[in-house]
Amino acid sequence: MVYDFPLYRPPSEAKSLILQITLGCSHNKCTFCYMYKTKKYRVKTPQEIEEHINWAKNAYPHASRIFLADGNALAMETRQLKDILQRLYAGFPDLERVTCYAGPKDLLAKGEDELLTLRKAGLTMLYLGVESGSPRVLQNVKKGVTPEEMIRAGQRARGAGFQLSCMIISGLGGKEFWEEHAVESARVISAIDPEYFALLTLLVEEGTALYKQVRRGEFVLLQPNEVIDETKLMLENVELSDCVFRSNHPSNYLSLKGTLNKDRDKLLDILTRAQQAQIALRPEGWRLF
């Protein structure tokens, strides 16, 4: 078996070759996350990585994009990751970009010189799961960092020259913290000022800690119109210089695309029209992880 399933990648990496050089997530504690619960984090052995790259070179010799899986390949040692990047650019003549997920703690654990080394070796873009900018929401979901640490992590990635895509999860504050989640997430995203900002919407998977909280009535989910209120409040509060914004994930009730802040009014207008039932929302049962 070439891959160790389950295997995840961001939607924008749909056409990328996925190379699984690590397994699982080194944090693996977020209460809403089901992705790597069946795996224990580890870096694959040099022999496993060698075999995986050799298989990929034979199967996809003209790959131009590679995504390094699983949950946070950036947690591996800088020297080993740099060696892998160099081998990829040497082994895939058409390779243009290599990307991976980046956990905030992994970004903060690397020195600025290490991040620069990886950027120069050809790691081009990072996906940072910010999830929320609210201190209480981040603490409740056990993200493991504060908003200020999240900002520092994002700014360090930007400072080292990485393209950065930040993700926020709509509804993650529930009914109790939705306003704080919206306003503080806008503050954190604005402080990082990434090239890409993606909005997903919370789906609660059976087996997660959050699922149990919902069942016990400790976490009350937002209704679709409330998610839209939250998105409006978030968009009203962001200050971004030139950021590609997307909420076109299958978990979202409404697909939005634009550039922030340039298209803010247009996006707010679409959200208002959706609340007035002039635009149909994705039915609850059609939302997907």
Binding site for ligand SF4 (CB under 6 A): 25, 27-30, 33, 35-36, 71, 103, 129
From 65, 64, 164, 162, select the one nearest 120 (Cα to Cα). 162
Least distance to ligand SF4 from the beta carbon of 28, Å?
A: 5
Least distance to ligand SF4 from the beta carbon of 270, Å?
A: 28
Q: What is each CA distance from 12 to 17, 92, 114, 137, 161, in whole angstroms?
A: 12, 20, 26, 26, 20
Nearer to ligand SF4, 27 or 44 (CB): 27
Nearer to ligand SF4, 50 or 205 (CB): 205
Least distance to ligand SF4 from the beta carbon of 30, Å?
A: 3
> Is residue 7 a contact partner of residue 20, using CB atoms and an 8 Å limit?
yes
Nearer to ligand SF4, 29 or 120 (CB): 29
User: Could you give the CA distance from residue 220 to residue 194 in angstroms, rounded to a whole number?
Assistant: 30
The length of the chain in residues reads: 289
Least distance to ligand SF4 from the beta carbon of 264, Å?
A: 28
User: Could you give the CA distance from residue 170 to residue 125 in angstroms, rounded to a whole number?
Assistant: 23
Nearer to ligand SF4, 33 or 198 (CB): 33
Task: Give 177's Cβ-side CA count (13 Å radius).
Answer: 21
Name residue, tokens 């994705």.
Answer: 282
Name residue, tokens 């990929």.
Answer: 56
Nearer to ligand SF4, 129 or 258 (CB): 129
Query: Residue 159: phi, psi to the nearest 5?
Result: -65, -30
Q: What is the dihedral of CA 87, 93, 96, 102, to 10 degrees?
A: -20
Least distance to ligand SF4 from the beta carbon of 76, Å?
A: 15
Least distance to ligand SF4 from the beta carbon of 83, Å?
A: 24
Nearer to ligand SF4, 129 or 194 (CB): 129
